[in-house]
Structure 1
Amino acid sequence: MRRMSARGLTTAEGERLLILSAGVGSGHNSAAAAVQQACATRADVAEVQVLDVLEKSSVLYRDMLGKGYFALVKDLPWLVEWGYDISDPPFRRRGPIDPWTRANALPVIGAIKRFRPTAIVCTHFLPAQLMASLLLRGVIDARTAVVTTDYDFQGLWLTGVFHALFVAREEARVELTALGLPPDRVAATGIPIATQLNVAPARDANEPPMLLISAGASGGDYAVAVVRQTLHMRSPFTATVVCGRNDALRQRIEQLVAPAGNRYRVLGFTAEMPQLLRRADLFVGKPGGLSASECMAAGLPMVLVNPIPGQEVRNGDYLMEQGAAVRCNTAATIGWKIDEVLREPGLLQRMQAAALRTGRPDAAADVLSGLLDGPSRPLVVSRAAQKTILAASERRVVATDLTGPSSLVRLIDTAVGSTVALLQAEELGDLQKRYATPDGGLVLRRDQTPVSFRWEARRLLRAMLRGDDVLPVRVEGLSASLRILPG
């Protein structure tokens, strides 16, 4: 395959940023739009393009991933939870992309060729895995970032090659560095959300508390049950119910709340969400990564209902740990639960303060800074190192504590101090035969010698050199050198 290179673009021409997402739910695309918006604040970005990779795929593939997922959420939630757990171990997925995904990726690769990006941001694991394959094969040399969109890190997002990995919270960063990933390649930025300008004034403490009730992506009977239970509340309140594009649901709820007069306002799809988030006192809905991040940035605590097993349950756990949310596990007690929050003196205000502390409104800008101002060479995690990390995690062992041939080592670019490879100690043999220096370091070269290279070592060398002929590196053993650094 012909190699796509952006190295010919000069600094004066500026960065050509490609943002890759996948329309499974709205969160991944919302994060992509937030990063696109943040590009306007950077003078070094000449052009930006957002691409939903599923829009370039076949209808069958798109429906299987998009509609199929929500069908499972509705009818077989236990299977969604099982799928989440089975794909959570780090580097459980290794090796080439499956043939069906590879075939559906061809139009995406064509779009990348035409755009010629110098930098790529992935807000879904599918394009992240594809970009790792292209980087390893030498097809692209753009700086590539992986941006997660839930508070808890899932191992499915880990790829063998990337320039930067951005996670939602500090605990995820600590987890990844404990696995062996270098601190200079992982940052806790939060989840990218759009910056809202000229939004409505903040909530008015003299008015009755306002509930913002979201029906979520699927809506339906559960949303009706939530609204019905609020009719039994004893505390004074007003409520805005957002039904999205579900007109039938909107009509059902309008009929349900008609006897309550002006207490309820029922909306369909609305562009007012930023203003509503600022005016509301309490959000009632599902803890999707983007929804939760927007609430936290607005200082809006949450009453969590009907979370999707897996990522949304874990999002909710984090929000409750921070004191910014409460969860209701059954629709029958939602009204009572909200009443408890509103009636306890000072509780709502404490939750609002906790939400503000948790919010990361500058996440999108921080992602761009971390990628565009960060290392130009990718981090390569060899397959042997990936196997070590997976095996250690399955034994409940921290990979950075390992010793012996299966322990992990890093190769550090001596010129800039960034990590360029994570290897199994045993893998150093091939490199040392060719490139060892008297001081114990290595000088990697694009040369011809009689010593035969294995296929994996050739791939690693190509990715690390990134078009250069020479790269001096030093070897660092993790068990003696790991430090958990401030984010």
Structure 2
Amino acid sequence: MTSTPGWFRTNREEAAEPPSGGAGGQRPRVLIIYASAGAGHDGASRELAHRLRERGLLADCVDLADIFPWRLGRLLRGTYHGMLSRLPWIYGLLFSIGGNFSRAAPITRALLRPVWPRVLEALPADTRAVVSTYPVVSQIVGPLRREGRLAVPVITYLTDFAVNPIWVSPGVDVHCAAHVTTRAEARALGAGEVRVAGRMVSAAFRPGDEEEKRRVRERLGLPVDARLALLVAGSWGVGAVARTAAEIADTGVAVPVVVCGRNTALYRRLRRRGTGYVFGWVEDMPALLRAADVLVENAGGLTALEAMACGLPVATYRPIPGHGRANAATMARAGVATWVRRRADLGPTLLRLADGTGGQRQRSAGLALFDTDPAGVVADIARGITASATPSRLAEAGPAGRPPLGPVPVDDPVLRESASFLETSVPVEGAVPAEVRAGLAAATPRRTLTRWVGLRAGMARLWTGVDQPHRDGGNRPANRPDRRG
């Protein structure tokens, strides 16, 4: 590990008080490497860094896009955004290939090998642990750890509920999972040590009471006595948002309140249509979540977690291809969200979640995710309190090489069912277990092969818009709702 190079930009907290703890009297430093692909990964990284600093550690965050040379990180980020916004079926196809092709992860590692020196150069000399919050990052730091070029422990914080094989990399010491279902999927894919460490969001996301809900609605100009369904689609506002808003309104069960994020075109389109109440970029998201009765989302991302922390039941509807559909399946199996698969089920599901006992059970399951703090796991490893003696390796195929699952509450049949498939499914070497493969198949768009006919024209559209300013100017719309009758 060397000094930080000039090209490396990091969100670093400089020590204001005398250093204490750790080796040589220095506070342990943790380097968190994320990817600015939406708000989920960098949001989790910022919150982890904040909590580590509260525990007395030093914490730096770095964007993978800043590590890649020749502005490749920015190009890849723009390509990803372009696929989700314009050709989501291509992203779903690539996601499915990565999940079902056994050589996808090794090929990814080989392609990323030229980035190794820049990652090593980015590590401050006093780094005591490296945390990955993005699957591609794990495919870089895991092999570095396994080959002995990275001398400190590596932790992967699984930001997704569903685990794609690209998340699992040899050499990672510990994987932090949200739930026993996520842990089971990671172990089935060959991960070594996987700890159910819960989730973390800002402390501002907390349950509210009826009086607070009323005050927020009055302040935002929302109907005080109506049942409100808050519709979100990430910071980029991707997916069938306009269609979903119209279908929520058509149920007559709830009034849609749509958050468009930075998608100004979507914001203007919904305002013209007069569908429900429309917000652009929202700064006070905790208050808006506490004003709603149910959340409708399409990707299983950060806002879904924030809603769970607020005690708001979550419904996944028309999930985006790829990780959106995979997360929908895993969250539903974990009991923290409901996947609405048919339009006819949308209204009854919203009613049940907002007013029924099903919503109460889901609220309890969601709030339970925050009973433990992943920052505690990372802090202990950085301080040397608990860490693997040697870098962990992918579990060998077969029951002899598969580490035990650990205790599962016997009084919770949902959790036992979620974890039990590891005991009944023995994968052959290099294969994805059937249950995990089925979850990945849920991420594959329908009629994918027939859409290859339009691939050339579609790719032309994609690359035309890669990393370009939004056609509407890219400015954030005002943070206020708009109701058109």
Q: Deviation of residue 62 (structure 1)?
A: 1.9
1:268 maps to which residue?
280
1:253 maps to which residue?
270
1:282 aligns with 2:300: no
Match of 2:405, SS state, is: coil
TM-score by length of 1: 0.67
Alignment partner of 2:92 out of 52, 56, 81 = 81
Superposed CA deviations along residues 266-308 of structure 1, whole A, max 9, x for unmatched, are 2211121122222311112213332322222222222323322
Alignment partner of 1:208 out of 226, 229, 245 = 226
Superposed CA deviations along residues 48-98 of structure 1, whole A, max 9, x for unmatched, are 110011123246522443222233334544443333233336785238943
Q: How many residues are aligned here? A: 377
Give the residue type in structure 2 aligned to 1:213. Answer: L
Structure 1 unaligned residues grouped into runs of 5+: 259-263, 393-398, 402-407, 409-477
Measure, in 1, the Cα distance between the counterparts of 2:63 and 2:355: 41
- Contact 2:234–2:301 at 8 Å: present in 1 too? no
- Contact 2:318–2:341 at 8 Å: present in 1 too? yes
Decide which moves more: 53-62 or 342-351: 342-351
- Contact 1:178–1:400 at 8 Å: present in 2 too? no
Measure, in 1, the Cα distance between the counterparts of 2:69 and 2:32: 20
Measure, in 2, the Cα distance between the counterparts of 1:180 and 1:233: 44
2:110 maps to which residue?
98
Superposed CA deviations along residues 159-190 of structure 1, whole A, max 9, x for unmatched, are 221221112221332355566655xx210223
Measure, in 1, the Cα distance between the counterparts of 2:285 and 2:142: 35
1:484 maps to which residue?
405
TM-score by length of 2: 0.67
1:15 maps to which residue?
28
2:452 maps to which residue?
none
Measure, in 2, the Cα distance between the counterparts of 1:355 and 1:30: 22
Structure 1 or 2: larger strand share?
1
1:452 maps to which residue?
none
Measure, in 1, the Cα distance between the counterparts of 2:92 and 2:40: 19
1:29 aligns with 2:42: yes
Measure, in 1, the Cα distance between the counterparts of 2:49 and 2:237: 29
Q: CA RMSD in A?
A: 3.5
Percent identity for Structure 1 against Structure 2: 23
Give the residue type in structure 1 aligned to 2:164. Answer: Q
Structure 2 unaligned residues grouped into runs of 5+: 5-20, 215-223, 409-485
2:365 maps to which residue?
357
Alignment partner of 2:245 out of 227, 232, 242 = 227
Measure, in 1, the Cα distance between the counterparts of 2:63 and 2:239: 30
1:145 maps to which residue?
155
- Contact 2:132–2:138 at 8 Å: present in 1 too? yes
Measure, in 2, the Cα distance between the counterparts of 1:374 and 1:91: 32
1:122 maps to which residue?
132
Alignment partner of 2:143 out of 110, 133, 142 = 133
1:194 maps to which residue?
202
1:169 maps to which residue?
179
- Contact 2:161–2:178 at 8 Å: present in 1 too? yes
Alignment partner of 2:52 out of 3, 21, 39 = 39
Q: Deviation of residue 42 (structure 1)?
A: 1.1
2:427 maps to which residue?
none
Q: Deviation of residue 338 (structure 1)?
A: 4.4
Q: Deviation of residue 376 (structure 1)?
A: 5.3
- Contact 1:304–1:327 at 8 Å: present in 2 too? yes
Q: Deviation of residue 341 (structure 1)?
A: 3.3
Decide which moves more: 354-363 or 73-82: 73-82
Alignment partner of 2:59 out of 48, 53, 65 = 48
- Per the alignment, do residues 122 and 27 of structure 1 end up closer, same or farther by CA in structure 2, a change over 3 Å counting? same
1:309 aligns with 2:321: yes
- Per the alignment, do residues 371 and 310 of structure 1 end up closer, same or farther by CA in structure 2, a change over 3 Å counting? farther
Alignment partner of 1:159 out of 144, 147, 169 = 169
Give the residue type in structure 1 aligned to 2:98. Answer: S
2:307 maps to which residue?
295
Match of 1:208, SS state, is: coil
Superposed CA deviations along residues 105-144 of structure 1, whole A, max 9, x for unmatched, are 54433221x4531111110122222212332343332221
Measure, in 1, the Cα distance between the counterparts of 2:108 and 2:327: 30
Superposed CA deviations along residues 397-451 of structure 1, whole A, max 9, x for unmatched, are xx224xxxxxx4xxxxxxxxxxxxxxxxxxxxxxxxxxxxxxxxxxxxxxxxxxx
- Contact 2:206–2:309 at 8 Å: present in 1 too? no
Superposed CA deviations along residues 188-239 of structure 1, whole A, max 9, x for unmatched, are 223443332688646759943222111434437832222233443433x454
- Per the alignment, do residues 163 and 104 of structure 1 end up closer, same or farther by CA in structure 2, a change over 3 Å counting? closer
Larger radius of gyration: 1
Give the residue type in structure 1 aligned to 2:246. Answer: R
Measure, in 2, the Cα distance between the counterparts of 1:357 and 1:293: 12
- Contact 2:314–2:338 at 8 Å: present in 1 too? yes
- Per the alignment, do residues 84 and 267 of structure 1 end up closer, same or farther by CA in structure 2, a change over 3 Å counting? same
- Contact 1:168–1:191 at 8 Å: present in 2 too? yes
Alignment partner of 1:339 out of 326, 344, 347 = 347
